């Protein structure tokens, strides 16, 4: 089963996305949310697709005691061969969906919801009601795969969650093939024997730039432009891989699990436009310099280009900043999280993620000092959603910015996309985002501090009082 973590969009339609947004995990490790009216794929909360093995077989038995002295030299080769064999087994099973019965497909979908679904609507989900649903379905005749898919659709529809839904094999395939790297690869995070993360190519676009340059399924990514990526997340590696279209990137790959290491030059084909517009404005008859930054969406270039804008505006003498998130419906939630960190002190909370179980609440915090410390105004409106709301509340709740404009959209759900064994899939709501001040974003939105722009001295005073109150509480 493959599992992708995403953030949901304000629509449940699946359309070819103009900009990427995916990330993936297994089991559920909430990362990501989005609300994009045209396509929920734009709200995929991560950075790369992650493909998990469908079946696991026992490792080959160890050699007898008489040759135990040779174990240390051969164990790595055994592990390499076994890993390659498992990958081949996964590909074989994916190519033979007829091996799975209609009843097994329906049961698989039922179990995913049973294990993972977070009910957020008026009709609260209960294990008892869901178990009854399974018992009702058991007696249903499932003569065709189409009938099984229809049963899954009705089963998911009964949950009353518009974002939990079925994906046909064709719809799921479009998502799995979607390239966010710009060179035609998808990456999977795999822990090694020491618990460190290594990145494997578990998704390759045929005749794409990487494939044409010699990269193959199962290769391990070792470095990008000389930067060692071992221990880095797929998102971090992705941010290094990406760049302007028609430029090249050097990657070091290890073929298979035991093959040779090769340095490969790959031509990028990423078509991502900068979402950042910025300018320096003078107010108070030229006495105050304000750095204005407009962020249209959270795509792969958002953080990098916003850092450039912030540094240039600082160099031009900006003493205050305006971050305009109006009509920004979201995008890559991880980009939003990383952008929020640019304004926060080390250890301050960006957002909380919450799942079905109370103990599943986790916090995401800033790890470094802020890039700027000047007062900030964040402009918001009714179309400020998902990743934009994460950024706005992170800055607001940590006393780094005030919010000006209209109440925000209110979209803070997290979905995972699970592949079923016949190549179809289910999108399931598995969590939600909660602000640093413990406000549930979803369905509520965020109220602004002001409807119209206040004077900067008022902004400074309000943030100062907020920080003093914050210090007392902590």
Catalytic machinery residues: 386, 411
Task: Please check whether residue 142 is in contact with residue 103, taking contact to mean a CB–CB distance below 8 angstroms.
Answer: yes
Task: Please check whether residue 164 is in contact with residue 178, taking contact to mean a CB–CB distance below 8 angstroms.
Answer: no
Query: What 3-state class would DSSP assign to 392?
Result: helix
Task: Please check whether residue 350 is in contact with residue 362, taking contact to mean a CB–CB distance below 8 angstroms.
Answer: no
Neighbouring CB atoms inside 10 A of 248's CB total: 14
DSSP class of residue 298 equals: B
Closest CA to 369 of 334, 399, 344, 339: 344
User: Residue by residue, what is the 3-state secondary structure of 317-343?
Assistant: CCCEEEEECCCCCCECHHHHHHHHHCC
Which residues, 6 or more positions from 446, have their beta carbon under 8 angstroms from its beta carbon?
380, 389, 392, 393, 396, 403, 407, 408, 410, 435, 439
Closest CA to 137 of 184, 180, 87, 103: 103
Q: Please list the residues that pair with 281 across neighbouring strands.
A: 290
Residue 40 CA to residue 32 CA, distance in Å, equals 12
- Max Cα distance, the chain (Å): 88
């Amino acid at each position: 089963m493959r599992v992708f973590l995403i953030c949901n969009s304000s629509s449940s339609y699946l359309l070819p996305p103009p900009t990427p947004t995916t990330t993936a995990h297994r089991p559920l490790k909430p990362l990501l949310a989005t609300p994009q009216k045209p396509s929920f794929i734009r709200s995929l909360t991560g950075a790369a697709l992650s493909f998990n093995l469908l079946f696991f077989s026992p490792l080959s038995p160890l050699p007898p005691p008489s040759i135990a002295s040779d174990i240390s030299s051969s164990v790595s080769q055994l592990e390499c061969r076994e890993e390659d064999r498992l990958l081949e087994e996964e590909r074989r099973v994916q190519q033979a969906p007829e091996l799975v019965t209609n009843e097994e497909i329906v049961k698989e979908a039922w179990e995913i919801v049973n294990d993972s679904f977070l009910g957020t609507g008026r009709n609260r989900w209960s294990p008892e009601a869901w178990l009854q649903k399974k018992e009702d379905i058991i007696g249903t005749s499932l003569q065709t795969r189409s009938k099984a898919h229809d049963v899954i659709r009705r089963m998911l529809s009964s949950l009353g969650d518009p974002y939990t839904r079925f994906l046909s094999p064709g719809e799921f395939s479009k998502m799995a093939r979607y390239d966010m790297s710009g060179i035609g690869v998808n990456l999977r995070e795999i822990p090694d024997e020491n618990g460190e993360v290594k990145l494997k190519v578990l998704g390759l676009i045929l005749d794409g730039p990487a494939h044409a340059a010699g990269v193959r399924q199962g290769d391990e990514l070792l470095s990008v432009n000389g930067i060692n990526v071992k221990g880095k997340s797929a998102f971090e590696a992705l941010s290094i891989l990406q760049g302007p279209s028609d430029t090249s990137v050097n990657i070091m790959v290890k073929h298979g699990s035991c093959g040779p290491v090769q340095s490969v030059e790959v031509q990028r084909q990423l078509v991502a436009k900068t979402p950042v517009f910025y300018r320096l404005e003078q107010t108070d008859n030229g006495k105050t310099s304000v750095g204005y930054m407009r962020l249209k969406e959270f795509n792969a270039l958002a953080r990098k280009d916003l850092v450039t804008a912030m540094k240039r505006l600082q160099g031009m003498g900006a003493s205050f900043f305006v971050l305009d998130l109006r009509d920004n419906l979201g995008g890559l939630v991880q980009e939003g999280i990383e952008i929020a960190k640019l304004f926060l002190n080390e250890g301050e909370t960006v957002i909380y993620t919450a799942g079905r179980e109370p103990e599943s609440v986790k916090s995401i915090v800033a790890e470094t000092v802020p890039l700027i410390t000047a007062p900030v105004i964040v402009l918001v409106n009714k179309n400020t959603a998902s990743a934009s709301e994460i950024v706005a509340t992170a800055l607001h709740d940590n006393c780094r910015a005030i919010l000006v404009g209209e109440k925000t959209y209110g979209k803070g759900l997290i979905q995972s996309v699970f592949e079923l064994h016949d190549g179809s899939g289910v999108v399931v709501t598995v969590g939600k985002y909660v602000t640093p001040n413990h406000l549930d974003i979803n369905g509520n939105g965020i109220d602004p501090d002001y409807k119209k722009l206040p004077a900067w001295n008022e902004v400074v005073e309000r943030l100062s009082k907020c920080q003093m109150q914050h210090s007392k509480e902590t």
